Amino acid sequence: MKESEFLEIGENILKTSKNKYRTIMKLAQQAKITKLEDLYTSKSSSYFKPLINEMVIYNKRNKCSKNKES
């Protein structure tokens, strides 16, 4: 993925969020949990930094849930 795609994902997450602060905090908390899990299991779940990885996962979940509602 290109840097511009990550920026677009981030912008879309904030645009669709009802509470931007809460969304950012949830993403950061999940990224921290993922990073700690990776440390304890001695594995890396992604080539991306944890926060970027969580943004991509969050974006995919939102797209899936919107498709199910349609």
33-45 residue pLDDT tens: 988 888 788 766 6
Question: What average pLDDT score do residues 40-65 get?
Answer: 82
Say if CB 58 and CB 27 are below 8 A apart. Answer: yes
How does the average pLDDT of the chain come out, rounded? 85
Alpha helix segments (H runs only) across the chain = 3-16, 20-41, 50-69
Residue from 19, 49, 15, 25 nearest 35 by CA: 49
What is the model's pTM? 0.73
Query: What are the tokens at 11?
Result: 């912008």
Residue 65 predicted with pLDDT over 70: yes
Q: What is the pLDDT of residue 29?
A: 94
Place of tokens 């950012």: 24
Amino acid residing at 9:
I
Q: What is the pLDDT of residue 62?
A: 84
Say if CB 33 and CB 45 are below 8 A apart. Answer: no
